[in-house]
Amino acid sequence: MGGKLKTRKRIKTLQKIQEMENSAIDYTTAAIASALDVSKATVSNYRKVLRKEGLIGKQKRVQIDGGDWMVSRELFDRLPAIAKFTSWCQRDKLVPTEFTNRLYDICRATATAPDKIIVSLEEAEILYDRFTQIWLKKYPTKMLDRYNRAIRKFLVFNQITLPPNSKVMPSGTESQGEYSRVRLSDAEISEGLKWFQKNYGDDWSTLFGVHHEIFARPAIMMEWTPQVEIAYADVDGRSYQYGTTEVFEKKTEKHYDKLILDPHVLKLVNELPKDKPIIDLDKAKISTTYAEMLREYYTDIGKLEPNAKYKKGVDGWMFFNRPIYAIRHSAALMWMRRTAFNLELVAKMGWDDTKTLSKFYARTTVKNIMQAGTCYYCRPPLEKSDERLFCSAVHALAYLNGGRIESV
């Protein structure tokens, strides 16, 4: 049995060396050895066998970095084109890895060094179109937004003018108006807090609750440290506690004021240690884990069907493919309901303008127009639902804390 396993391993190693030798990348012996976890002597010996059989060319590999960045992210980051771009991002108060991680994927998938991308706009479009085809074949349901942004930013830095309506590398987002009604009901939010606490503990429950209250973008939420100040609002002779905090969004380079009205979430936040992330793990690990947890929860409450595949444009696609971002969509609609559908107020808590909010996150419907003026605190409807409405944030605060106006 052991002999068979060794034979299979040798065959697999030979095949991989043949593939790398015949690629467009000039891998060094050291790079191939590192990629396959074998010695340089093994690579040299196997290469001789492949040459003898005519399966690879006769040329000798140059002993410089060459294409070794394909198997070494460290070497990729040291390439002049990437090193200069990284420095520029840092000076511009951007997070370099938000772009270089995607650029690395693009370059590896197309076996193209980054300096080849910036030869001309035409060359960039050809290469990126090739990457898009590779990506969609492998991940047919996943969006390319982040890759679009990365290559556009890289080209702009290198002074390549982009057409305003590029079809190859669009500037917009695939998550447009058709997902602007993606949401959880108030009951599903409350149930989510219990579900996360029961299945994964208080910290993950807190992350879910705070995320739905302050709806920071995923990249920011994963590293957000609780710095919440307690404030009070007087409503009909009673004083109610709420939380205020500030979030700096790197994407828009703006500070946004946030509110935490839900008393249960506020209690969880107050119990957290100060100046430490809610989940003390690597950001990428938090994101991957949280996304899987959310998919599990969405399945439990019927937002997703087990093993189902969703086409773009339906709610299930967003819940499955962008589970964390779905929370931002849901929170936008919750805050619209808390403020009598006041786009101006809600936009000030997380968006550049009301147009972005209404088009991509919280499109106002005819039903919403007819619901305006309804308030579960001061003007409750005869028939109540799981999506409570309020005339103002302070009345939402009073209601969430048990306050009610008694009927005469």
Instruction: Please give the residue that has the higher pLDDT: either 281 or 172.
Output: 281
Mean pLDDT throughout 279-287? Answer: 86
The single-letter code of the amino acid at 226 is P
Mean pLDDT throughout 95-120? Answer: 90
Query: What local confidence, expressed as pLDDT, does residue 230 receive?
Result: 95
CA nearest 214: which of 41, 330, 59, 50?
Answer: 330
Tokens 């993606």, residue located: 182
Beta strand pairing call for 238-249 and 254-260:
antiparallel
**Does pLDDT of 56 surpass 70?**
yes
Tell me the Ramachandran region of residue 318: left when phi exceeds 0, alpha when psi lies from -120 to 50, beta otherwise.
alpha
Query: What local confidence, expressed as pLDDT, does residue 265 receive?
Result: 96
Helix-, strand-, coil-residue percentages of the chain, each rounded to 5: 55, 5, 40
Longest dimension (CA), the chain: 97
**Distance between CA 310 and CA 313 in Å, rounded?**
9
**Does pLDDT of 71 surpass 80?**
no
* DSSP codes, 42-105: HHHHHHHHHHHTTSS-SPPPPSSSTTGGGG-HHHHHHSHHHHHHHHHHHHTT--THHHHHHHHH
* DSSP codes, 262-285: -HHHHHHHHTSPTTS-SS-S-HHH
Beta strand pairing call for 254-260 and 229-235:
unpaired
The single-letter code of the amino acid at 155 is L
**Distance between CA 72 and CA 76 in Å, rounded?**
7
Tens digits of residue pLDDT in 213-254: 999 988 888 888 888 999 999 999 999 999 999 998 877 778
Question: Could you tell me the pTM of the whole model?
Answer: 0.65
**Distance between CA 341 and CA 358 in Å, rounded?**
10
254: β partners: 249
Contact 56, 24 (CB under 8 A): no
**Does pLDDT of 194 surpass 90?**
yes
Tokens 């249960």, residue located: 264
Query: What local confidence, expressed as pLDDT, does residue 62 receive?
Result: 45
**Distance between CA 216 and CA 52 in Å, rounded?**
59
The single-letter code of the amino acid at 273 is P
Contact 123, 155 (CB under 8 A): no
**Does pLDDT of 82 surpass 90?**
yes
**Does pLDDT of 396 surpass 60?**
yes
**Does pLDDT of 190 surpass 80?**
yes
**Distance between CA 294 and CA 319 in Å, rounded?**
8
Contact 96, 89 (CB under 8 A): yes
CA nearest 212: which of 255, 147, 265?
Answer: 265
Contact 269, 210 (CB under 8 A): yes
**Does pLDDT of 134 surpass 80?**
yes
Contact 105, 67 (CB under 8 A): no
Return the sign of the alpha-carbon dihedral for residues 48, 52, 55, 60.
positive
Radius of gyration in angstroms for the set of CA atoms belonging to the chain, rounded to a whole number: 26
Tell me 183's DSSP state. -
**Does pLDDT of 281 surpass 90?**
no
Query: What local confidence, expressed as pLDDT, does residue 64 receive?
Result: 39
* CA-to-CA dists, residue 315 to 240, 301, 306, 368, 408, angstroms: 36, 14, 15, 19, 42
**Does pLDDT of 65 surpass 50?**
no
Mean pLDDT throughout 255-276? Answer: 92
Confidence of residue 36 (pLDDT cuts 50, 70, 90): confident
